[in-house]
Amino acid sequence: MPRKIAAGNWKMNGLRADLDVLRAIAAHQAASVEVLICPPATLIAACADLPLGIGGQDCHVSAYGAHTGDISAEMLADAGARTVLTGHSERRADHGESDAMVAAKTQAAYRAGLRAIICIGETLDQREEGATLSVIDTQLAGSVPDDATAANTVIAYEPVWAIGTGRIPTMEQVAEVHAHIRQRLADRFADGAEFPLLYGGSVKAGNAAEIFAVANVDGALVGGASLKAADFIPIIDALAATSS
């Protein structure tokens, strides 16, 4: 069975003064749930020794070179990260990252020994046009490398229109997309049934249990609600309850 993962993406938030939040989250252990935080790169080394999974939010395709302001997967690993996000919708939108670029960054993660959480999801226009599953198919085919495995890859479905808006799809819509992703992975990879599938998009304590009850939802990629331990810990507990 896919492992359960509660992942938090801090985005461009967090200073050294906020390390107490990570300590509080790390102190809360939940059986059968992997807890992971992707803080800004400036905090990775400072929290790498905590009993908590630490990930980067992005990486460059190259291991080193003249790429001012970028950070390589090897640098993330050296700082103490073990996972990295690739293809987040904010990277795709703000930096024009294509599926091919996401796949290249994912392979860079593999090269450095990092696990990749590959983010996919449709915009509101695409949802309203009835193109959701087509978009998902295109992103899966173009963003997930052929050497992906359940050990080195997690897929996060994040409908773009639900990120940070307070809106979420219906549980039927979540179930449809996650079942579709699972089938596509099973068709393509020998261990496709074991890839963890995360849902992301306005996940919070009040809706986590309902989301985690949906088939093929193995956890969540959480944004704003991961910035405070009091908001994130109930999400972890809700996920743990699905495993008991």
Q: Which residues are catalytic?
A: 88, 158
| Nearest CA-CA partner of 28 in 228, 203, 206 | 228
User: Is residue 87 a contact partner of residue 102, using CB atoms and an 8 Å limit?
Assistant: yes
The one-letter amino acid code at 130 reads G
- Give the C-alpha separation, 135 to 114, whole Å: 26
User: Is residue 73 a contact partner of residue 85, using CB atoms and an 8 Å limit?
Assistant: no
DSSP sequence for 38-54: E--HHHHHHHTTSSSEE
- Give the C-alpha separation, 205 to 187, whole Å: 34
